[in-house]
Amino acid sequence: MATVAKIVVAHGAWSAGWAWKKMHAVWGQRGHTLFTPTWTGIGERRHLASPLVTLSTHIEDLVGHVETEDHRDIVLLAHSYGGMVATGAMGRIADRVRQIIYLDAVVPERGQSMLDTAGPEVAAALRARVAEAGQDAWLVPSNPMPPDTSADDLAWISTRRVDQPLGTFEEPTPFGSEEITVPKAYIYCLRCGPGDMFRVFAERARQRSEWEYREIDASHSPNITAPEVLADVVEGLLV
């Protein structure tokens, strides 16, 4: 039987706890407990969006959740942009974390922002999208969902994904992945296709002995498109 875990998700950009709805049932049936806090300014907390919301705000959201719930011995599962949030938070909650698993996620070093890790071309394209927003030029429009997302899931997602404050992408993290001492793992989604900004982090993790590395035959959000497969891969990494 797989190790039973308390899993706390650091969700991705434009998303929220709602995007992990399928995983509550899947992991619950296997004996795991899942927590999916939502960051300020998006999801059900979109009414709190403002130009003052930054990466630090989201790090505080995660730290506040872990400390308020008094979580201990958790598996921190960081998806996409959530790698920025989880890494930044580890400087304060490492003693409560059993292991950290990055799922097709950014793995920053101290002093890097999300845009720093994305590279100049991606950063310029993102800022251009923000400028096109006009009066709301502090909000970043969301990326489209992968082409393998079902029609039913697209209908579910389309009313829930919201624009995200630019400051969350521009602020550097106060803590870096090289400073993390708990067991680390990386899961790379193979169906990301051209323009995949996560491959560099996957390659780095695969080449380093202190990382466990896995691949999943899914697009960028397997919590939506391949929940059972994701559950299997994560279970295989639990320590």
CA nearest 239: which of 101, 56, 124, 142? Answer: 101
Tell me how long the chain is: 239
* Torsion angle of C-alpha atoms 197, 99, 162, 172, degrees rounded to 10: -60
DSSP element (H, E) containing 10: strand 6-10
Task: Give the residue numbers marked as catalytic.
Answer: 80
Q: Do residues 24 and 34 lie in contact, with contact meaning Cβ atoms separated by under 8 Å?
A: yes
Q: Do residues 10 and 168 lie in contact, with contact meaning Cβ atoms separated by under 8 Å?
A: no
